Amino acid sequence: MRLLQFFTFATILITRQHVSLTNLKSLWLWLLGGTNAIGIILQYIALSTLSPITVTLIARMYLVYVFFLSYIFLKEKITKWDYLAIILCILGSFFISGSRLQFSDNLLGLICAFIYPLMYATNNIVAKYLVSDEEPNNVLFFNHFTSALLLFCYALITGTSFSHISSQAVAFNFGGAFFNGFMSLLLFYTSLQFITAGKANIVRALGPVIVIIYSSFFFPVQVTPSLVLGAILVILASTIVTFTRTNHE
């Protein structure tokens, strides 16, 4: 999280954008960081108690949450094409995973798996609201800044130890923070200035397909009919929201 703050702050300095810490008085910024921090905590609890595939599939509820929240709070219209895209995206994720949905008897894990996507969806809705008045860099900076403060407080309360962290782990975390936590969110927040939150998140769902493509250059990837069908469905969902526009837009 500190790495994300560094990357974002460096970008703000390079582009000479103005950031005022007095903005921290805004409850919206704390809601932005709070939903992100809670989402991260619940996601790790879910992953520690359920299989990664199960958590990933349940996380597709995120799309439903985003469209629902954007309709309620941002007044973004939902068309029949949007409903079709949601269904195709969820089905595509199911096929990509190989249909290996596994539920355990861990009730806490299941609850966290369903709630953490709601936190991320709320975070993106708040970000969509804020980027209408602020630069995406600023929103991203305060998102990471407030999240880091809240997560640090959580770590102190739970007695989390920061010792015995290997240099290899730090190196991988550095790369992951730059590409996933910084660049992807910066581009995502920028896209929110031009398209609805729902459509932006459908296009974002192309992530697993892209991961499979570039992973094939480094790791053996078994191409199965289920994987191909899932990829086609996700790409089709992204294509639908890319080439259709609501009357609101």
User: Which residue in 237, 207, 234 sits closest to 92, CA to CA?
Assistant: 234
Q: What is the pLDDT of residues 176-202, one digit of tens each?
A: 666 665 676 677 777 777 777 767 767
Q: What is the pLDDT of residues 199-221, one digit of tens each?
A: 776 766 666 667 667 667 776 76
The domain ranges of the chain are: 2-155+166-243
- What the block records as the tokens of 64 is 């439903």
Q: If you ran DSSP here, which 8-state letter would residue 134 be given?
A: S
> Which pTM does this prediction carry?
0.69
| 8 Å CB contact between 98 and 221 | no
From first CA to last CA, the distance across the chain in angstroms is: 34
Query: Coil, helix or strand for 75?
Result: coil
Q: Please name the amino acid found at residue 76.
A: E
